Structure 1
């Protein structure tokens, strides 16, 4: 009798451990930062000033710096930064209940990042000034910091008065479509748009304590949005493969934290799905959270079987898969890619688009050698610097391989009839 009772307790405990997080009763929306009004930027500035006065901006910068080697270069990159932003957002909402971290779609101005409307004196601020490159305008103007030493909040664009080109939406679209594992997608993102924005702004942003700068938050909100789009594109919400912060990745892993920004033992699984548990937000340009926790049965019990990513095709419920947040241009991008590329190129770089099938698409593909792309060609992205690669412990040869793949996408599209809508 005692044995049977013990078995019942063990069974109930196992079911409880496999129970998915509850769905959020209220889900806030993270908006494109480009859509914010001047009043909304002033409200964000007010919150940041108050958080800074209370030492919280310093805490986030220090925590990110101290955890640096555990949260980059492995699959923990995505869940850590998702949890990090949730903590920042939740603390900020103590000062303003309406506060939500917006996202910065850095693909929209990738050709000339310095011209981005967000890098102005009324939003995120411009370039740093004087010898110390202190940020003298924007929502964090003239901020003085104490970690790791006394210094001003710095901004030091990597090309003097301009910023080297970032990554085109079409390159990110290719990553979202073609990467069937999270570990591969993480590499593509971390070696591309993640590093490009950090290095382009530089100053505080190319340091381990980059989280001092609010551009860190809006940039990583965008990377989180791209992860959520990848999860939806492949219907793969619980995939967590490759290497985690402490060895082989498991959704049961505890997300690394620091005592200055504690997470209370949050697991990777607790942040995998937007709209559940403590992940009570979504994005204005992305799919809404599912109605029930993915991988669970009617009783809410989560299956322990590893999900396999399954790319959606162009006839699915989410046909406009793209690296851009511009919903109207997504459909245009997808249609033009189908018309401009042959089946082999589609299968390699944009699987699921089914290009080169109709007579119209075949004709466009046959013409590609006779007619170069009209409009502005895509620009080639800059390489990560050797210092950045070393700082993150990346394999230089692997980083170069991924960069060459991005350049192949640019070359392919520029030598076809494709015309970018961006």
Structure 2
């Protein structure tokens, strides 16, 4: 049966409560922290050795689609009626937006240590202790909008700039790629440029705190953010039906990215699934 991922602003009070309860149950069981560790393990940058299936590479979108699906299945094992909502940060773009309410994700962190003190994921509730610690902190941190040096969320125009590109990705298949939808959405720019981070990356910066680290799923907003990115990939596919995932073929041994990036039919770890199998989600879920 195909289920629906809704805009978070359209969730009912009951839907929010059920979703939060499923998150907390996964946390209590230890399953949630396994997802956090998995994301951190596969966060491999350009300058590091080894395969890069999850970031700064063409498989950024299919890898995270599968990651969200695995997490969603875990949530549905707790409550079959829940799904991951999406956060359209081009519209709900202030700390006063509904997702930061006390009955949902809670708000920004307090001055000084950025500890989130409101909502069900506040450390004081006893339900959300951070295991993959950054320093000595074992609490959720946020610094919405970074008031001391303000950062704005991406706009509709920023998203449209990415969606208009008919090319999925291009050599050198990393964070320096100047052409293609994937990197324009993921948000890397030329080092030292004023637009070094945009779209996906700028959202992580705007939220701040743990969203700035490889263990960013420690903040539940991670899933809503990436559900919106998944929706945008869907929109790009519909806008450019003649375009497809690149590279289609395995890169030759002479290419510096050989063995580091994943072509259309190369299985991605840790699920041993190729991007080709993740191009269409319509038989599993849809977006409202």
What TM-score results when the alignment is normalised by the length of structure 2? 0.79
2:269 pairs with 1:282: no
Q: Which residue of the other structure, out of 208, 221, 238, is the alignment partner of 1:202?
A: 208
2:237 aligns with 231
Q: Which has the higher helix share?
A: 1
1:147 aligns with 132
TM-superposition CA deviations, 1:238-289 (whole Å, max 9, x none)? 42328889345421121222xxxxx3x222111111124xxx11111xxxxx
RMSD of aligned residue pairs (Cα, Å): 2.2
TM-superposition CA deviations, 1:78-133 (whole Å, max 9, x none)? 011000000000011000001100000000044xx223222222222111125432
Aligned pair in 2 of structure 1 residues 251, 283: CA closer, same or farther (>3 Å)?
A: same
Alpha-carbon separation, structure 2, partners of 1:220 and 1:237: 22
Alpha-carbon separation, structure 1, partners of 2:113 and 2:242: 46
Alpha-carbon separation, structure 2, partners of 1:227 and 1:50: 30
1:49: how far off? 0.9
2:269 pairs with 1:256: yes
Alignment length (residue pairs): 248
| Unmatched runs of 5 consecutive residues or more in structure 2 | 45-51, 171-179, 188-197, 252-256
Aligned pair in 2 of structure 1 residues 203, 248: CA closer, same or farther (>3 Å)?
A: closer
Quick check: which has more Rg, 1 or 2?
Answer: 1
1:271 aligns with 278
| Unmatched runs of 5 consecutive residues or more in structure 1 | 1-25, 258-262, 285-422
Alpha-carbon separation, structure 1, partners of 2:218 and 2:7: 21
Q: Which residue of the other structure, out of 59, 72, 75, is the alignment partner of 1:76?
A: 59
1:214: how far off? 1.1
Structure ranking higher on relative contact order (CA contacts 8 Å, 6+ apart): 2
- Report the secondary structure of 2:9's partner residue: helix
2:10 aligns with 35
Q: Is the 8 A contact 1:274 1:281 kept in 2?
A: yes
2:109 pairs with 1:134: no
- Report the secondary structure of 1:123's partner residue: coil
Q: Is the 8 A contact 2:169 2:245 kept in 1?
A: yes
Q: Which residue of the other structure, out of 183, 189, 205, is the alignment partner of 1:187?
A: 183
- Report the secondary structure of 1:275's partner residue: coil
- Report the secondary structure of 2:4's partner residue: strand
1:217 aligns with 223
Alpha-carbon separation, structure 2, partners of 1:188 and 1:85: 21
TM-superposition CA deviations, 1:394-422 (whole Å, max 9, x none)? xxxxxxxxxxxxxxxxxxxxxxxxxxxxx
Q: Which residue of the other structure, out of 67, 70, 75, is the alignment partner of 2:42?
A: 67
2:85 aligns with 102
Q: Is the 8 A contact 1:157 1:202 kept in 2?
A: yes
The runs of at least 4 aligned residues of structure 1 exceeding 3 Å deviation read 242-249
- Report the secondary structure of 1:124's partner residue: coil
Aligned pair in 2 of structure 1 residues 73, 159: CA closer, same or farther (>3 Å)?
A: same
1:217: how far off? 0.2
Q: Which residue of the other structure, out of 121, 124, 130, is the alignment partner of 2:102?
A: 121
Alpha-carbon separation, structure 2, partners of 1:187 and 1:72: 10
2:259 aligns with 246
Alpha-carbon separation, structure 2, partners of 1:219 and 1:115: 17
Alpha-carbon separation, structure 2, partners of 1:224 and 1:55: 26
Alpha-carbon separation, structure 2, partners of 1:130 and 1:56: 31
Q: Is the 8 A contact 2:146 2:208 kept in 1?
A: no
Alpha-carbon separation, structure 1, partners of 2:5 and 2:169: 23
1:171 aligns with 158
What TM-score results when the alignment is normalised by the length of structure 1? 0.55
TM-superposition CA deviations, 1:165-199 (whole Å, max 9, x none)? 12211231232123322451111011121011100
TM-superposition CA deviations, 1:117-154 (whole Å, max 9, x none)? 22222222111125432222224222212224661111
- Report the secondary structure of 1:282's partner residue: strand
Q: Is the 8 A contact 1:114 1:163 kept in 2?
A: no
1:156: how far off? 2.1
- Report the secondary structure of 2:86's partner residue: coil
- Report the secondary structure of 2:264's partner residue: coil
1:408 aligns with none
